[in-house]
Structure 1
Amino acid sequence: MATLLHIDSSVLPGKASASRAVADAFRAAWEEQHPQGTVIYRDVAANPVPHITADAHTAGFTDPSDRTPEQSAAFAARVKLIEELEQADAVLIGAPMYNFSIPSTLKAWLDNVILPGRTAGENPSAKGTPVTVVASRGGSYAPGTPREGCEFVQTYLGVLLRESLGLEPEFIVPELTMAPRNPAMSELIPLYRASRERAFADATTKAKELAERFAM
């Protein structure tokens, strides 16, 4: 049966988080198609993975027999995360925009799983795995908007996931999520609602499409 790797990184819990809510809709549709499948779940906001240390980094370039105990322990933690990525038939990532970029906890996960010679390089071990990224943001950074040039989430993740890890990323973008809470954005609430509805619909559709793909 198919395996889904689900990564959440929003600091907000449950439905208070747009990225979590939309990712949950994706996961629910996926599980409906694969009731006997496996979901590997990591909430890197609630349970952060270690940031890369010198031991964790240098261990990747050191022969196992020459590693210090500290290098071996740090590298073992990285390997567990890498193996979860390699086992996945599909990946789901909740990536809210914080200060124009991704949460540091998500960056830490990425730094751990990117390993030249294994997950990155000429023949990435998870090459071709489809990744659905729920890239929520409080405003709009779409082409033609005043802040188009400040969109660093899709730009960064698109390059990193595709070029470094050899994955196949697609994005679902619920935007203007601050509109209901910011009086200055009240006139944008209809656009926020439309974006949210579209994101939920896209999540359900994409999950079913991928689930059918792996059912063949």
Structure 2
Amino acid sequence: MATLLHLDSSAFHEPSVSREVTAIFRKEWEDRHPGGTVIYRDLAKEPLPHLTADGIVSALAPVDSHTPEQAAAAALRSELADELERADAVLIGTPMYNFTIPSTLKAWLDQVIIVGRTAGEGGSVAGKPTTVVAARGGGYGPGTPRESFEFVTTYLEKVLTGMLSLDVDFIIPELTLAKSQPQMAPLIDAAEASRAQAEQDAVQKAKTLAERFAA
């Protein structure tokens, strides 16, 4: 049966739009793959260590030359790469924090991008379908005043496709702060429409991928 790698990175559990939309995607996937496997990492609840010099060197130096610290760092990177390689599809939930992704998600990326294994020409995860739910409190789409401040999808598209050669698709619920910020009250209807579209997209994309990997 198919395997889904599901990552959440929002610091909040309730409310969290990115978590709620990834949960909808995952439920649809699991309903269609009741005997399948979901590898789940809550990067906020159990954050990974940042990539260190030991982790970098361990990917370059012969195994028999590793110090104990390098061996431990290499083991973690290998574990994360194994999870990514085992997955038939990947689901990533991320909010926008200060115009970009949470550091917890960046830590996962730095650990899992291993040139010569997962990354680079002939990488082991090339072409793997990846759905990113990128929630944001305001509006950053084309033509908006803050379009140039958007470094979530622009960054993730470059790193996921350029380094890992993943097949990336985005779901973008935006204006998520409309109900909690009085100055955004005129945008509540637009926020609700964006949320509804994101939920619909999550169901449809999960359904399409689940059918693709049907036994």
Instruction: Output the TM-score relative to the length of structure 2.
Output: 0.99
Separation in 2, partners of 1:121, 1:12: 34
Q: Deviations over 1:112-165 (max 9, x none)?
A: 000010011111101110000000000010001000111111100001001100
Separation in 2, partners of 1:69, 1:10: 33
Separation in 1, partners of 2:16, 2:94: 11
Identity level (%): 59
- Matching residue of 1:36: 35
How many residue pairs were aligned? Answer: 215
Separation in 2, partners of 1:121, 1:129: 14
- Matching residue of 2:121: 122
Q: CA deviation at 1:84?
A: 0.2
Question: Does residue 1:132 correspond to 2:131, yes or no?
Answer: yes
Give the match's secondary structure for 1:41: strand
Give the match's secondary structure for 1:215: coil
Question: Does residue 1:156 correspond to 2:131, yes or no?
Answer: no
Give the match's secondary structure for 2:22: helix
Runs of at least 4 residues off by over 6 Å: none
Q: CA RMSD, aligned part only?
A: 0.6
Separation in 1, partners of 2:81, 2:87: 10
Separation in 1, partners of 2:119, 2:73: 19
Question: Does residue 1:4 correspond to 2:4, yes or no?
Answer: yes
Q: CA deviation at 1:69?
A: 1.0
Q: CA deviation at 1:74?
A: 1.1
Separation in 2, partners of 1:189, 1:124: 43
Q: Deviations over 1:63-89 (max 9, x none)?
A: 001111110011101110110000000
- 1:1-216 alignment, distance < 5 Å: 1-14=1-14, 16-215=15-214
Amino acid corresponding to residue 99 of structure 1 in structure 2:
N
Q: Unmatched 5+ residue regions in structure 1? A: none
Q: Unmatched 5+ residue regions in structure 2? A: none
Separation in 1, partners of 2:33, 2:75: 30
